[in-house]
Structure 1
Amino acid sequence: MSSTLSEQINDIGIEDVQAPKHFRVIKRGGDVAEFDTAKISVAVTKAFLAVEGDNAATSSRLREQVRELTQQIVSAFSRRMPDGGTLHIEDIQDQVELALMRSGEHKVARAYVLYREEHARQRASRAQGIDKPHPTINVTQPDGSRQPLDLGRIEVLVTEACRGLENVEIKRVVDESLKNLYDGVTAEGVATALMMTARMLVEKEPNYTFVTARLLQDNLRREALSFLEVADEATYGEMEALYKPAFQAYIARGIEFEQLDPKLAEFDLERLGDALNHERDSQFTYLGLQTLYDRYFLHREGVRYELPQVMFMRVAMGLSLNEANRNDSAIEFYELLSSFDYMASTPTLFNAGTVRSQLSSCYLTTVPDALDGIYGAIRDNAMLSKWAGGLGNDWTPVRALGSYIKGTNGKSQGVVPFLKVVNDTAVAVNQGGKRKGAVCAYLESWHLDIEEFLELRKNTGDDRRRTHDMNTANWIPDLFMKRVIEDQEWTLFSPADTPDLHDLYGAAFEKRFAEYEEMTRTGQLKLFKRVKAKDLWRKMLTMLFETGHPWITFKDPCNLRSPQRHTGVVHSSNLCTEITLNTSVDEIAVCNLGSVNLAVHIVDGKLDSEKLGRTVRTAVRMLDNVIDINYYAVPQAKRSNFRHRPVGLGLMGFQDALYKQGIAYASEQAVTFADRSMEEISYHAIKASSDLAAERGCYESYEGSLWSQGVLPIDSLEMLVEERGEQYIQVNRDQTMDWTSLRETVKTQGMRNSNVMAIAPTATISNICGVSQSIEPTYQNLYVKSNLSGEFTVINQHMVNDFKEAGLWDEVMVNDMKYFDGSVQGIDRVPDELKARYATAFEVEPKWIVEAASRRQKWIDQAQSLNLYIAGVSGKKLDTTYKMAWALGLKTTYYLRAQASSRVEKSTLKGTDGKLTGVKVPQAEAAPSAPSPQAEAPLGSAPPLACSIDDPDCEACQ
């Protein structure tokens, strides 16, 4: 009781009211106490004050009323029990309520009734473990029962979600969330209201993405813990104690459900449970965690029973099954994954530790020129796609339209009809039920069907000769590019007549191609077509601009720089153009991917070389383990993978790493950083594979490889220069590390893996880690990302931090950025230095993207998934950009992201809702682009929608 209320009651004069003799009171808990008249006066006073306000406390009328009512109540008990006795507390309260009603104080009586109900509710809540119940909102439980909304728990959840984050407001999230709740809401509804409130604030303060993710975890924990029968729910702090039993229960249930490999039970689960770090749950952005929930966590009958740290430990255990010290290795691998220093590829995250551990990312096949072989290859596609593999098919051997078929004495229909079947197979057999099947068909530029191949993705023409769901890529020999530059003719052949061209490259290809051309002049070859090389090149670029396909990839650098030249030929790349491995009828090439998070290796504004070395060393070991543990859906893949053991270590977060160093993407400093960072990754990766060879033995086909000759990727660059000719290539050869000693190490110890590096798109795993994908420049500084998990406001946190430091971040800046589609270039008050640093993908000239890729390529034994962003597209600009990519030694390119020079004007008006609403005013029809990353979207009250660049439903994000 407060001193103020005590003084008020003393003023009322309750000492004049005599308590009845020999009366005792039974409390609700069963205890017995003396009858206290003062407590009746206090209750009555509170009821009056609730109705009449604090000013009534000074009223003589109130003092008299309280005294009279108290006397009436005491007298009533004295009359009822003149000799005294025992009363229940509820009897006393009933008498108070009755006295107020009889005196005509109906409003006060009502206030007293509500007071009693509230206290009854609080007592019931405390019995249910709720210390701070909401006065009016009840939560509907899964069994249909209702209990008061626990305000205390909500405050704890939001406080924990905001812990350690600047510029976030606990009270704002709580108060705004409560406005969106109603009586009878479900527990999931409460969690959703909290998340939505935090999510709406992301565009003003990026840290709210972490708040939203932490609030989402309340739902995740409730779902998993209750399913595992560990707890009904838990706060972040409680997970410190609950993660271990949850992990142990998860292993048992997963094995029981025949989802997890029974070998996981053989690990020291006590020790591994102790190694789980619940604090790392705080690293996730909302997009990252929602992506894991929707697509990665193991589930049973729609219930996700896997938690984030449990998933990382499951993957780590799955990759440690064959390690001698499997518990030590599992903890080492877990530390790397859970810290986001390195992230395994999506198939590995999906399947490691499960009963069917298909962990590899990419499969490359060559399709033979025989009907049974063609349909055998299509069957292989289906089996590999079923287990979440991305596919690259080499179709060059298949005879062209009009070629003679000896067995039937007929003529071939060419490649295109079979590609239609491949397209439909990819649609029919998706990747494990988790994402669309995805395949890319490659055709060499001398194939007689190349012109029709270029048109496969057009929306016009005979739909039976169109493949709307499949990717396509040109496999271009250097000779073709030379003919384009020199404006010469080019000849198209059927591979049935020129089968050896498929396996030749460099000078040998040029010599044989010239011989076949001579045979067309002498009449020895009847089926051919002569075209101007420039015209075919122009058609390639036109189709690339109009349909997004076929991609431009280069045959000769892929082969001339391949460490495995002695065992075969690289006939194509993969789905995402970063893998360059040999294929044949007997071997399906396989590659296992993972990526270093470059952003977290920038410490105090510079690259932490020691940390990077540790990360790469462990990552290469994890990737090598995949080969032995992997499930192989077809025997040709297993045969190839065990013989050559290729892996593809890549990187992500390149743009974030630049931001952390204050470097603009379009700058010489960025190009130099691309060079130096890739050099370090390459050095450590090659060293790690060589050290593994000393421990485990070399890969089977090592002898005769470039590695065995002491030729490293930086050395193979000279082979390309020599074969192509100095006049056609311009490559930087600078190096800073001790490559001489590494050559000797490799020659002495050998290599465990035929190939070690490849830079994949990483769109989904970079979302998980909350960094920029792969080597991409920032798409936009503020936009809405739409994918299978929903729509997510994404804002460049580095930019916000710099703008805050410069005093530029406010509501006006947010609206300006919405108006300019996430760009800062049109905002006058932004300094030029910040405009340069935060230029978006279409504001970075493609020459910088290509130059940085060229510097990386000299260190990589495979290739890069390199998207090109070109604003103000013209034929000349496309021609220059792709010729530059070839001249700078790139092996492959990926998507063309084209933006028309003609844009849509927008005006900003004040709507009736008081919010800024974007209005689009058509000015000129945009030039065609596929896919179009800059599709206009409503602006003002919401950031612009992004394209599906990083939509997991899109082929770009495998």
Structure 2
Amino acid sequence: MSLDITETSQRPPSVTEKTATVRVIRRDGSVSPFDANKISVAMTKAFLAVEGDDAAASSRIHHLVAELTEQVEQSLLRHAGPETALHIEQIQDQVELMLMRGEHHKVARAYVLYRDERAKARAAAEAASPARDENVLHVKSADGVLRPLDWDRVAHVVGEAVAGLSDVSSEPVLTETRRNLYDGISADELALAQIMAARTLVEQEPNYSYVSARLLADKLRAEALSYLAGRPRQASQDEMAGIYPGYFRDYLRRAIELELVNPELAQFDLDRITAALRPERDLDFGFLGLQTLYDRYFQHHNGTRFELPQAFFMRVAMGLAIREDDREARAIEFYELLSSFHFMASTPTLFNSGTTRPQLSSCFLTTVDDDLDSIFQAYKNNALLAKYSGGLGNDWTPVRGLGAHIKGTNGQSQGVVPFLKIANDTAVAVNQGGKRKGAACAYLETWHVDIEEFLDLRKNTGDDRRRTHDMNTANWVPDEFLRRVEANEGWTLFSPNEVPDLHDLYGNAFAERYREYEAAAERGEIKVFRKVRAVDLWRRMLTMLFETGHPWITFKDPCNLRSPQQHTGVVHSSNLCTEITLNTSADEVAVCNLGSVNLLKHVGPDGLDTARLEKTVRTAVRMLDNVIDINFYTIPEARRSNLRHRPIGLGLMGFQDALFELGLPLSSEAAVEFADRSMEYISYYAISASTDLAEERGQYQTFEGSLWSKGILPIDSMQLLIDARRGDALDVDTSSTLDWEPLRQRVRTVGMRNSNVMAIAPTATISNICGVGQSIEPLFQNLFVKSNMSGDFTVVNPHLVRSLKERGLWDEVMVSDLKYFDGSLGQIDRVPDDLKALYATAFEVESKWLVDAASRRQKWIDQAQSLNLYIAAPSGRKLDELYRYAWHKGLKTTYYLRAQSATHVEKSTLRGTDGKLNAVSATPAPAASPSPSPAPSPSPSPSPSPSPSAAVPATPSAVVPAVPPAPVVKPKELPKVDDVDFAATDGAACRIDDPDCEACQ
């Protein structure tokens, strides 16, 4: 079997225009044009070697290889530019990736083993051959001059990159770098060769991700310093301690000249600022994090990056401190938090803080009224808000439905869908300054007469004029609808122009008024309405969610009943990522300003470090509050709303990393308890910090009349939901461990600086920067390739590798097994059961555990959480149980459904290549809600075994001990609706690594 991609073939060349300028660097240093034929030949031989060469197999293999080759070519050339050079190992890595993604596991495994054998053979041959003379090679610098390769410097840079890291060495990086050199190589290609050499080793040792990042940092230093000096200039990491202060001044001066940075930053005491820079923190990035910053965040001029990492963090910090009294001290305080990864501001803040257009807010929520002026003003507002990286949530419920009377023309409305199509195209056209795709989510209430067409918006069939392929959609579901689903009753759809007050009603008031409108329809007093079975509509909602990934399921009544701002308006929708729950109206566009605590940085083997957490949260809340005053507002409705209510959204990330550190499986009561306790502390400190700011700076304008002013904190507002549900549809834990009464009294008397203070966002990109798992997400796989806008990255779970090393189990065979089994430990016999439980992947964890943990967090949060749900083999019954379970547990919203469809594995069923993954459940799923029946208000869930964290003082000690394992609760079943068979459907639910998906970025 020969699998070498360098073999030749007579297949016609690709029609891709980029191919003509792309070169391939072979292992002997020679260069040849890129030819996709060679990829096709190599994969064909691999398939034939595994599957056989009979006629039937050959026919299937021919079509399959053509498809895979096209995927490989597109991926490799996605970021290609003039004179791009691809290394042969890079191409082979991509072939391996596509084989694994296609679940051709046996072929991929044979391919991996063959590559390993060839690598060993080459190493042996090189060891027996005379040493190569690098001095014959020349490097072409940026000024076009050929200079002899300085191998000593290459060795020094690689030596710096591996310094201080365990289980890495410079030899394999230098050896692989040598293989990829050729005479006349450019300086950029030389730097890339070193980076690629380290990248190939990541799957064997996660610390090579840091090596790759440090080599990328060396490339960035050369790029930035050369640009500012106007001539080629390089500096090693150990030289940067002396260079950074002078560099920062030069950087700031040039950025101001280019009108990229606010000139006021030059008025800071730069001696004080530059003395606080921490050059050594450039070493703390993983490769994915630094590459993401390089591609999308650092300031550049004509594509040349001249902003180094610590300058980036300091620029953001100075921008956030620009209106502080002692702005240097605050800037340094903010810089310390950002550059140490204890807290990270949201992407718009990182993009724009300290710039000439500081649009720092993350989310904007709007309501579109039922008239053309409002509708077309909404398009304009969306464009202006999206231009500077804002994510949009649009409430379209007021727009009248299909068939409704139009008084002005005496005609009939075409409904809301044609207007949504235009909103979709607007989001595509305004792509957030070229930094990332424009993104919007349209919300519609479940009683709207156009709801069934709304459900079809993301379908790939039907009239394309009534489809929105690029816009997210979400259902805004009232409790009354789900009560009728569970009672198997009817449901009536209305046009909002005939039932205008339903839009602003929630809870029992909505239910009563809705029934009155149903009676009016029966009497013939309402013209446009339609009756359906609630269960039928619910089934269709879930089917569309699986088949198209949309609309998401969000719950109107919990968002409103627990809103601190009930006295000033109504929450009509959430935002793009479903974590924001703020009031909107024709006069106010809701704005939220986000940032996230890195929970991993606040735990140790002994538990949660509450002293460190308090310090982080207090500083973070101040930073987020500053955003409101500094912010560049593109529309007046957003400015007015933000200055009146001053909402912020402090969230968290790295939740599962914290569990790994504590040794707590996600599928355990102990993990649920940790979610509860950690969020309780964040809530306590965030509310306290906002109260302190109110004392220093004043209350927000609409404080009086809010729940805060009545001493009703988020934990207290849970009772409002319990009362509205009458206890018959709510199964929540209301326990607490801190003494909240003193804080409650302080909030009532001193006030709050911010109407809202907490929301858990997806943190997709900023968690990559910090090198931790997204938000509250479970780990996707322990070894996989992540695709985003910056390319493809090998991701290995370093916590798992550490555990396997401790057991003497980390070796090449384990790497191969993890690849073969899609990053899962479940079928690897030699891995102990406790590690399989701890490191179970997302589709091996029953989603009800995620809902239970989210429910325990939700009681502490005044807004919501971006909660993705995972189902390995979806069915209508499973989706019904899961989403109604989320409703029973008091959640406000859910986000993406992430699924593996029933046919997902069939793409690789060539002669028994199954690849199906058996899920590993560490423990049974938590109990589902009981069948609805009259019951008293629920009492707190049974406590686990006594633990050190069961009682925590109001002024906590420095460390909260980790929670020990707890008894398992036997699952119960929810009432069933008729099942929906997804067996023949390959759904479009989120696949985790989609580079175009907002949640995957």
**Which whole-Å deviations, capped at 9, do the CAs of 1:328-350 have from their partners, x for residues lacking one?**
00000000000000000000000
CA spacing shift, 1:413–1:908, aligned 2, 3 Å: closer
For 1:957 and 1:383, the matched residues in 2 are separated by 24
Identify the residue that residue 976 of structure 2 maps to in structure 1. none
SS at match of 1:904: helix
Please give the secondary structure, in 2, of the residue aligned with 1:135: helix
Query: Which string of whole-angstrom CA distances, capped at 9 and with x for unpartnered residues, describes residues 50-71 of structure 1?
Result: xxxxxxxxxxxxxxxxxxxxxx
Q: Which residue of 2 aligns with 1:341?
A: 342
- The 3-state SS of whatever aligns with 2:999 is helix
In structure 2, the partner of 1:183 is 183
1:955 matches 2:1001: no
Note the 1:836-915 alignment, pairs <5 A. 836-904=837-905
> 1:745 deviation in Å?
1.2
Aligned equivalents of 1:908, 1:136: Cα separation in 2: 51
- Report which of the two structures shows the higher radius of gyration computed on alpha carbons: 1
Distance across 2 between alignment mates of 1:745 and 1:228: 52
C-alpha contact 2:902 2:986 (8 A) present in aligned 1: no
For residues 477-556 of structure 1, the aligned pairs below 5 Å read 477-556=478-557
Q: In the alignment, is the contact (CA less than 8 A) between 2:604 and 2:662 conserved in 1? A: no
1:51-90 correspondence runs (5 A): none
Normalised by the length of structure 1, the TM-score is: 0.82
Q: Distance in 1 between matches of 2:831 and 2:908?
A: 21
Q: Which amino acid aligns with 1:205?
A: E
Flag structure 2 segments of 5+ consecutive residues without an equivalent: 1-131, 918-981
1:201 aligns with 2:201: yes
Quote how far apart the aligned CAs of 1:957 are.
Answer: 4.6
Which residue of the partner structure matches residue 989 of structure 2?
A: 931
For residues 699 and 868 of structure 2, the distance between their equivalents in structure 1, rounded to whole angstroms, comes to: 35
Q: Is the 8 A contact 2:708 2:751 kept in 1?
A: yes
Deviates more, 1:540-549 or 1:152-161: 152-161
User: Amino acid of the residue matched to residue 142 of structure 2?
Assistant: P
- 1:633 is aligned to 2:691: no
How far apart are the structure 1 equivalents of 2:274 and 2:532?
Answer: 67
Residue of structure 2 in register with 1:829 after alignment:
830
How many residue pairs end up in the alignment? 805
CA 1:479–1:174 in structure 2 vs 1: closer, same or farther (change >3 Å)? same
Given that 2:222 and 2:234 are in contact with CA atoms closer than 8 Å, whether structure 1 keeps it comes out as yes
Measured at CA, do residues 795 and 897 of structure 1 come closer, stay the same or move farther in structure 2, by a change above 3 Å? same
- Matches of 2:512 and 2:653, distance apart in 1: 41
Taking the aligned partners of 1:176 and 1:493, their CA distance within structure 2 comes to: 67
The 8 Å contact of residues 265 and 318 in structure 2, kept in 1 or not, is answered as yes
Q: Is the 8 A contact 2:649 2:760 kept in 1?
A: yes
Change beyond 3 A, Cα 1:680–1:609: same
TM-superposed deviation, 1:506: 0.6
Secondary structure class of the residue paired with 2:402: coil
Q: Distance in 1 between matches of 2:687 and 2:759?
A: 13
Aligned runs of 1:721-870 on 2, under 5 Å?
Answer: 721-870=722-871
Q: Is the 8 A contact 1:574 1:580 kept in 2?
A: yes
Return the letter of the residue paired with 1:513: Y
Deviation at 1:135, TM superposition (A): 2.4
The one-letter code sitting in structure 2 at the alignment partner of 1:211 is V
Aligned equivalent of 1:72: none
- Name the counterpart of 1:275: 276
CA distance in 2, matches of 1:703, 1:468: 43
Partner SS state of residue 412, structure 1: strand
Name the CA shift for 1:508/1:343 in 2 (closer, same or farther; >3 Å): same
Counterpart of 1:116 in structure 2 is none
Give the drift of 1:144.
2.0
**Residue in 2 that maps onto 1:681:** 682
- The whole-number CA distance in structure 2 between the counterparts of 1:579 and 1:925 is 35
CA distance in 1, matches of 2:916, 2:706: 59
453 and 814 in structure 1: CA distance in 2 versus 1, 3 angstrom threshold: same
CA distance in 2, matches of 1:819, 1:336: 40
Q: In structure 2, do the counterparts of structure 1 residues 919 and 228 end up closer, same or farther at CA, with 3 Å as the change threshold? A: farther
Q: What residue in structure 2 maps to residue 358 of structure 1?
A: 359
Give the secondary structure class of the aligned counterpart of 2:137.
Answer: strand
Instruction: Check if 1:290 corresponds to 2:291.
Output: yes
Who is 2:78 aligned against? none
Quick one: which amino acid aligns to residue 274 of structure 2?
Answer: G
For the 8 Å contact 2:553–2:893, the answer to whether it is kept is yes
Residues 261 and 133 (structure 1), Cα distance of their counterparts in 2 relative to 1, 3 Å cut: farther
SS in 2 for 1:402: strand
CA shift in 2, pair 1:932/1:744, >3 Å = closer
Between the aligned partners of 1:425 and 1:908, the Cα distance in structure 2 is 42
| Offset from partner CA, 1:564-595 (integer Å, 9 cap, x none) | 00000000000000000000000000000000
Counterpart CA distance in 1 for 2:454 and 2:765 is 30
Aligned to 2:13: none
Separation in 1, partners of 2:543, 2:834? 36
Q: Shift in Å at residue 173 of structure 1? A: 1.3
| Partner AA of 2:290 in structure 1 | L
Which amino acid counterpart does residue 997 of structure 2 have in structure 1?
C
Kept after mapping to 2: 8 A contact 1:819/1:906: no
Secondary structure in structure 1 of the residue aligned to 2:517: helix
CA distance in 2, matches of 1:742, 1:291: 40
CA distance in 1, matches of 2:179, 2:983: 44
Paired position in structure 1 for 2:14: none
One-letter code aligned to 1:490 = W
Moved more, 899-908 or 156-165: 899-908
**Alpha-carbon distance in 2 for matches of 1:701, 1:199:** 53
Describe the SS at the equivalent of 2:238: coil
1:451 aligned partner: 452
TM alignment of 1:349-498, pairs within 5 A: 349-498=350-499
Measure the CA separation in 2 of the matches of 1:926 and 1:956. Answer: 27
Answer yes or no: is the 8 Å Cα contact 2:897–2:990 preserved in 1.
Answer: no
CA contact (8 A) 1:133 1:150 kept: no
Structure 1 residue 908 displacement after superposition: 13
Measured in 1, the distance between the counterparts of 2:756 and 2:616 equals 18
Match of 1:38 in 2: none
Quote how far apart the aligned CAs of 1:461 are.
0.7
Pair 465,906 (structure 1): closer, same or farther in 2 beyond 3 Å: closer
1:294-305 mapped onto 2 (5 Å cutoff): 294-305=295-306
Q: CA deviation at 1:931?
A: 3.2
Displacement after TM superposition at 1:926 (Å): 6.8
Runs (4 or more) in structure 1 with deviation over 6 Å come to 905-909, 918-926
Distance 2:694 2:627 in 1: 16
Q: Name the structure, 1 or 2, with higher relative contact order (CA <8 Å, separation 6+).
A: 2
Moved more, 921-930 or 316-325: 921-930
Amino acid at match of 1:640: S
- TM-superposition CA deviations, 1:22-51 (whole Å, max 9, x none): xxxxxxxxxxxxxxxxxxxxxxxxxxxxxx
Q: Mark the CA change 1:932 to 1:477 in structure 2 (over 3 Å): closer, same or farther.
A: closer
CA distance in structure 1 between the partners assigned to 2:984 and 2:300 by the alignment:
45
Q: CA offset at residue 133 of structure 1?
A: 9.7
Pairwise CA RMSD of aligned residues?
Answer: 1.8
What SS does structure 1 have at the residue aligned with 2:394? strand
CA distance in 1, matches of 2:874, 2:753: 45
Please report the TM-score for the alignment, with normalisation by the length of structure 2. Answer: 0.79
For each residue in 1:703-753, what CA deviation from the matched residue of structure 2 results, as whole angstroms up to 9, or x when unmatched?
000000000000000000001111100100110111111101111210000
Distance 1:451 1:490 in 2: 13
Within 2, Cα distance between the matches of 1:549 and 1:904?
23
| Equivalent residue letter for 1:928 | D
Q: 1:476 to 1:158 in 2, by over 3 A?
A: same
- Deviation per CA, 1:148-171: give whole Å up to 9, x if none: 211221121111101111110112
Whether contact under 8 Å (1:133, 1:148) holds in the other structure is no
The equivalences for 1:218-257 within 5 A come to 218-229=218-229, 232-257=233-258
Distance 1:377 1:810 in 2: 57
Q: Give the direction of change, closer, same or farther, for the CA distance of 1:611–1:926 in structure 2 (3 Å limit).
A: farther
Alignment deviations for residues 170-191 of structure 1 (CA, whole Å, 9 cap, x no partner): 1221122112111211111111
Deviation at 1:425, TM superposition (A): 0.6
Contact 1:906 1:921 in 2 (8 A): no
What CA distance in whole angstroms lies between the structure 1 residues aligned with 2:871 and 2:207?
Answer: 32
1-side partners of 2:236 and 2:787: how far apart?
29
Paired position in structure 2 for 1:160: 160
